[in-house]
């Protein structure tokens, strides 16, 4: 069978990882969360007492498999640090081949920001998953804090953090967050994760005669 590469891009907390993981299980493909690569580089910088806005090329080159298994990669200072190191061309260059090699033999479902535009421009299907900043901030809050009520002020802070990160990711010169011209956009404000998965599977089966 053909080795499918499925690209899943979009802004923070849109549901990319949830969709990509479920698609990978459904299609029996490996899953790569490329955000973890940038997060692990940021973690190395922070742990070494360095500012993630400074040159992170050495840390990107030194990245190990174990770095990606760390549990402290999804905390606010790393959210921000990841988007600072990710804006550096030398960091992106150091991580590019590793992402391509991952899918070379087996195909893969890969999520990130530049998967359909830079990493796998020939991906079989490209999704751009998005939702309003409010919906995404609420989802990220529930994901990390459970159902604890978010007051208006805390929600405003969460929205501001997500908006700042999206703006940095979209405005950088190298491999910005960008919807590929041939991507299929799914707006998920009013869709459950299960509904997004069904929509995506239908599109893949129409285009690739699988799923
Ligand atoms: O990978 P990304 O940052 O884009 O988002 P995620 O971690 O997959 O999803 C953020 C949260 O939104 C998770 O708790 C999901 O269960 C939830 N969610 C979703 O993924 N899709 C929806 N349509 C609705 C909620
Ligand atoms: O899960 P969430 O969408 O919040 O973030 P992530 O996918 O883990 O990515 C963290 C950060 O890494 C992003 O804000 C981007 O700055 C960067 N990133 C990137 O530049 N390119 C990718 N392919 C993946 C992530």
State pLDDT tens for residues 60-73: 999 988 889 888 99
Ligand index nearest the alpha carbon of residue 140:
1
In the reported structure, the alpha carbon of residue 102 is separated from the centroid of ligand 2 by a whole-number distance in angstroms of 18
Please give the model's pTM, rounded to 2 decimal places: 0.96
Encode 66-105 in three state secondary structure: HHHCCCCCCCHHHHHHHHHHCCCHHHHHHHHHHHHHHHHC
**Nearest Cα residue to 85 out of 118, 38, 48:** 38
Tell me the residue ranges of DSSP E strands in 138-211. Answer: 184-187
Residue 2: per-residue pLDDT = 61
Domains, in order of start, for the chain:
5-204 (3.40.50.300)
ipTM of the complex model: 0.98
**Residue numbers of the chain with a pLDDT score lower than 50:** none
Residue 4: per-residue pLDDT = 96
Q: Which residue has the tokens 């150091």?
A: 94
Site residues for ligand 1, CB cut-off 6 Å: 10, 12-18, 139-140, 143, 188, 191-193, 196
Q: Do the annotations mark residue 17 as ligand-binding?
A: yes
Q: What is the pLDDT of residues 11-59, one digit of tens each?
A: 999 999 999 999 999 999 999 999 999 999 999 999 999 999 999 999 9
d(CA 7, CA 34): 11
Ligand index nearest the alpha carbon of residue 190:
1
């Amino acid at each position: 069978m053909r080795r499918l590469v499925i690209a899943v891009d979009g802004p923070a907390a849109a549901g990319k990882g949830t969709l990509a993981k479920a698609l990978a299980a459904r299609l029996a493909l490996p899953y790569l969360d490329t955000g973890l690569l940038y997060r692990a580089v940021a973690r190395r910088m922070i742990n070494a007492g360095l500012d993630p806005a400074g040159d992170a090329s050495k840390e990107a080159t030194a990245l190990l498999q174990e770095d990606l298994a760390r549990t402290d990669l999804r905390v606010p200072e790393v959210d921000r640090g990841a988007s600072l190191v990710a804006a550096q061309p030398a960091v992106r260059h150091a991580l590019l081949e590793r992402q391509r090699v991952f899918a070379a033999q087996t195909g893969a479902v890969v999520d990130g920001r530049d998967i359909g535009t830079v990493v796998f421009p020939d991906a079989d299907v490209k999704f751009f998953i998005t939702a309003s900043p409010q919906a995404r901030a609420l989802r990220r809050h529930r994901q990390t804090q459970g159902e604890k009520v978010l007051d208006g002020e805390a929600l405003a802070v969460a929205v501001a953090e997500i908006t700042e990160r999206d703006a940095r990711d979209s405005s950088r010169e190298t491999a910005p967050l960008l919807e590929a011209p041939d991507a299929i956009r799914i707006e998920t404000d009013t869709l459950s994760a299960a509904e997004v998965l069904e929509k995506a599977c239908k599109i893949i089966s129409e285009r690739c005669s699988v799923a």
